[in-house]
Structure 1
Amino acid sequence: MGRPDISLDRPRKWMRPLQEGVLPAYDEALRVIRADARRVRKEAAEQRAKVRAAHEKLVAETEAGGKLVEGEARKTLEGELEGMRERLEILEVQSEVNLPEVRWSVANAMSDLSIPSHRHLLRQRWRSDGALDLLMERIHQMHVVPDVLPVLHPSIDLHVAARLMPVHFDSLMKRNRAQRRVNTFKEVEPGRYLTPKQTRVQPKLYANVFHTDVRLYTMLLVDPDVPDEERQTYTTFLHWLKPNIPLSATHTGRIPFLNTHTRYVPPHPQRGTPYHRYVMLLLPQPPIEGYRYTRNTEALLTEQQAQLSQSIVPEEARPGFDVRAFAREWGLNGALGGGVHMWREVWDKYVGAVYRYELHTPQPMYGRPPRPDPQRETHEAPTRRKYRIGA
């Protein structure tokens, strides 16, 4: 059964938090929880005042150009303020995280990521309920690490939605009789198989981000399983690239305008090859020169958006695209966070359309060559077949 359509505009009308006055034991527990919340909220207010005073002191010692003065004394002050901000964040979470109305809102897809307790519960659910474990299991079992990048430590809950096949529409309509139209895109579980027809149009990306400041990310979609005949190995094809994507915790909905840089080329696994892995990366770009992402820079800097002037990748540079060299050149480090996703595809008859209308090249075929037939070769012209040694 599908999940009901729940949002701030369409709140859930049933199974709301238990009201006071129904169960005495619950009322007593709620009284204790609210009393503790008030105490922690008061402590958080005192901590916030301390942070404000330390912040003002640090700002007063900042140069006119906005760059912090170097020195051990300054580093010590920054370290102390970072610890104070960390404690304040913990207190803000603890002051609300046990309230029934907060947990109910998060559990029913009505969270507000500008609220620390909501961010904490969503991040905890992503890390504890299996979604992150499944993602890491798939990217390691299928050797995305280290084939694409040596290290990936996701900090963003990245979701990919692909177009449904028409065969799915009837069953979906039966489950959604009350809806007047069917959403033709569906979330893809990491590692699942899609068909080339499903990815003929670009997938949609959604991200749950847990930092409150706006940071920039670079999105890449690559296929590391393209045969390299000359070297008798595999190479990488760049399918999609978009730098300078601004994201923060308050971002909601689909990530827009992804096809405005290096255009999307649909996946096209070659005939005769095993399954191809399609790896979606959302890598964090470095902040303004001289800074790193911390709670202090989040508060001290109005912008941490060091735009990367990446040129559009020409069509002839897509085959053999070196992800590691690209990441080194632009300071993109998967060990520092970001998002990752992957799915798999195999060849079918719809791949030919990609070669004809997108790549404008003949479709190659790989596999074992047929047994030699001198009589046939005498009367037939050479074909365009390509064979991979050891296939």
Structure 2
Amino acid sequence: MSARALLAFRKSFSPSGCLGGRSSWARTMSTTAPDAVTSSPVDNAPPPSEGTASTRGRKKKCPPKRAPISHASPREWCRPLAPGVLPAYDLALDLLKADSAQIKSEAELLRTKIQAAEEQRLEETSKQGEDTLANLCRLDEELEVLRKKLKILEVQSEINLPDVRWKVANAMPNLAKTVDRHLLEQKWRREGDLDLLMERLHQMKVMPDVLSELHPSIDVRLTVSSLGGIPGKANKMVEPGTFLLPRQTFDPPKLYANVYHTDTRLYTLVLLDADVPDEANATLTTYLHWMQPNVPLSADHTSRILDLNKHTKYIPPHPQQGTNYHRYVLLLLQQPPRGASHYSLNIETRAKPNEPTSIHLDIPIVSDRRRKGFDLRSFMREWGFDMRQGGGAHMWREVWDEHVSTVYKDILKIPEPRYGRPRKPDPYAALKQTKRYNS
């Protein structure tokens, strides 16, 4: 038999179907122990457990579950490509790092210049004379310009690095870094959250009904009871302008805030109902549901805002029966700065840890009788609030249902009012009181 015929003969009897290959049975025989040759490995395999898929006695492998990323279990930046896979990508990273190093060196020189200007300012402070105040104002203006330039350099030095952007996008920012705070603020301002808030405030006439002007500087978020609407979640996030049930606000909403300044500033919490009927004047007035002054906030505060019910106690929203929907406006009013007319980078940089840069306000508690008709504009003028310079805002809506009666009965302890359309005058009301026919 020729060599070619012998190879064809072997191929026809090879279970693997490839020339010169060995069958799976032969491979198994070559790897098993001598005392297990007489039995098939499939016969000796344990039966698959009930309820699990198997293929020829093997359990199906489930893909591993990815561990959650958080501050408690952080994960480093995962490069899309390993070093050396794509030289062009490695070169791009090297160029970004070189540009970052160059900008950081410029920032370091600017820090030295700022430090020298601060020392000069301290020398001027110790002097006494007519020109001292003017020199201090001039130095403060120059320092403010230099610090603004330094902030720009600190952002530009790292904003293009992929690992910095990856950590911010995966909720692992380092709020001590200027670039991370900048990216978080730009995300809030450019990705729709701030636009949605301002759209709802303008569409629902919160401005000018409640405020004349508003420029939010912090991102305020609320959660309320989900009432079992979201499986596995006791609370749900409130979208600005959405409708809530009165039962969801029996307890005070939980407040959170993303703050972008490093100094500790004080805020005053105010919650108003803008649509309370005023029967005497045949119009609508406001009702103060909640107030808490001197709430300290800074970029380091990332958890829920606590201790908010120690001043003017929270009273749940109670839209009156027969009225249209009520607008509930929550504001975080930024209290005035100490020793200046407005906040600046100079104040933020010179601030001491945990020492507020705002004026502490001794606002008296608002009594229950004065809650209705609370004049927010007069209150802001009296205590120096200006929402054009910053603060936070949120809002939602509610309508009456049968659970509102619980608030009137158990908390307010007054009869529940009921409103409706005024009755049309009846021209025959007097005639109806008399007999039609004489007896």
Same fold (TM over 0.5): yes
Give the residue type in structure 2 aligned to 1:51. Answer: I
Equivalent-residue separation in structure 1 for 2:243 and 2:176 (angstroms): 35
Give the residue type in structure 1 aligned to 2:365. Answer: I
Equivalent-residue separation in structure 2 for 1:370 and 1:15 (angstroms): 70
SS of residue matched to 2:249: coil
1:30 aligns with 2:93: yes
1:130-183 C-alpha deviation (Å, 9 max, x unpaired):
1111111110111111111101000001111111112x14xx23xxxxxxxx4x
How far did 1:330 drift?
0.6
Equivalent-residue separation in structure 2 for 1:20 and 1:91 (angstroms): 29
1:262-287 C-alpha deviation (Å, 9 max, x unpaired):
11111111111110000000011001
CA contact (8 A) 1:286 1:331 kept: yes
CA contact (8 A) 1:270 1:366 kept: yes
1:211-253 C-alpha deviation (Å, 9 max, x unpaired):
1111111110000100001001000000000000111111111
Equivalent-residue separation in structure 2 for 1:190 and 1:273 (angstroms): 21
What does residue 59 of structure 1 align with? Answer: 122
SS of residue matched to 2:211: coil
CA contact (8 A) 1:17 1:101 kept: no
What does residue 44 of structure 1 align with? Answer: 107
Select 2:251's aligned residue among 179, 196, 201. 201
Equivalent-residue separation in structure 2 for 1:301 and 1:24 (angstroms): 46
Equivalent-residue separation in structure 2 for 1:353 and 1:193 (angstroms): 19
Equivalent-residue separation in structure 2 for 1:281 and 1:80 (angstroms): 34
Equivalent-residue separation in structure 2 for 1:144 and 1:104 (angstroms): 37
SS of residue matched to 2:248: coil
Q: Percent identity?
A: 52
1:282-337 C-alpha deviation (Å, 9 max, x unpaired):
01100114453111122334341311001111111111100101111111111111
Select 2:170's aligned residue among 91, 94, 108. 108
Are the structure 2 counterparts of residues 162 and 79 from structure 1 closer, same or farther at C-alpha, using a change threshold of 3 Å?
same
How far did 1:43 drift?
0.8
Are the structure 2 counterparts of residues 370 and 330 from structure 1 closer, same or farther at C-alpha, using a change threshold of 3 Å?
same
Are the structure 2 counterparts of residues 297 and 291 from structure 1 closer, same or farther at C-alpha, using a change threshold of 3 Å?
farther
CA contact (8 A) 1:17 1:104 kept: no
Are the structure 2 counterparts of residues 349 and 15 from structure 1 closer, same or farther at C-alpha, using a change threshold of 3 Å?
farther
Output aligned runs, 1:132-143, within 5 Å.
Answer: 132-143=194-205
SS of residue matched to 1:198: helix
Select 2:277's aligned residue among 227, 250, 258. 227
What does residue 383 of structure 1 align with? Answer: none
Structure showing greater radius of gyration is 2
How far did 1:344 drift?
0.5
What does residue 325 of structure 1 align with? Answer: 378
Tell me, which stretches of 5 or more residues in structure 1 are unaligned? 174-181, 379-391
CA contact (8 A) 2:270 2:290 kept: yes
Deviates more, 1:19-28 or 1:108-117: 19-28
How far did 1:63 drift?
5.2
What does residue 147 of structure 2 align with? Answer: 85
Are the structure 2 counterparts of residues 279 and 69 from structure 1 closer, same or farther at C-alpha, using a change threshold of 3 Å?
farther
Give the residue type in structure 1 aligned to 2:182. Answer: H
How far did 1:15 drift?
6.1
What does residue 125 of structure 1 align with? Answer: 187
Select 1:360's aligned residue among 398, 413, 419. 413
Select 1:334's aligned residue among 368, 387, 402. 387
Equivalent-residue separation in structure 2 for 1:269 and 1:125 (angstroms): 35
SS of residue matched to 2:291: strand
Give the residue type in structure 2 aligned to 1:308. Answer: L
Considering Cα pairs closer than 8 Å and 6+ residues apart, tell me whether 1 or 2 has the greater RCO: 1
How far did 1:24 drift?
2.2
Are the structure 2 counterparts of residues 265 and 110 from structure 1 closer, same or farther at C-alpha, using a change threshold of 3 Å?
same
CA contact (8 A) 2:168 2:184 kept: yes
TM-score (norm 1): 0.87
CA contact (8 A) 2:125 2:132 kept: no
What does residue 281 of structure 1 align with? Answer: 331
Are the structure 2 counterparts of residues 114 and 316 from structure 1 closer, same or farther at C-alpha, using a change threshold of 3 Å?
same
SS of residue matched to 1:75: helix
TM-score (norm 2): 0.77
Give the residue type in structure 1 aligned to 2:325. Answer: Y
Are the structure 2 counterparts of residues 271 and 70 from structure 1 closer, same or farther at C-alpha, using a change threshold of 3 Å?
farther
Equivalent-residue separation in structure 2 for 1:126 and 1:305 (angstroms): 25
SS of residue matched to 2:246: coil
RMSD across aligned C-alpha pairs, in angstroms?
2.4
What does residue 50 of structure 2 align with? Answer: none
Equivalent-residue separation in structure 2 for 1:63 and 1:273 (angstroms): 64
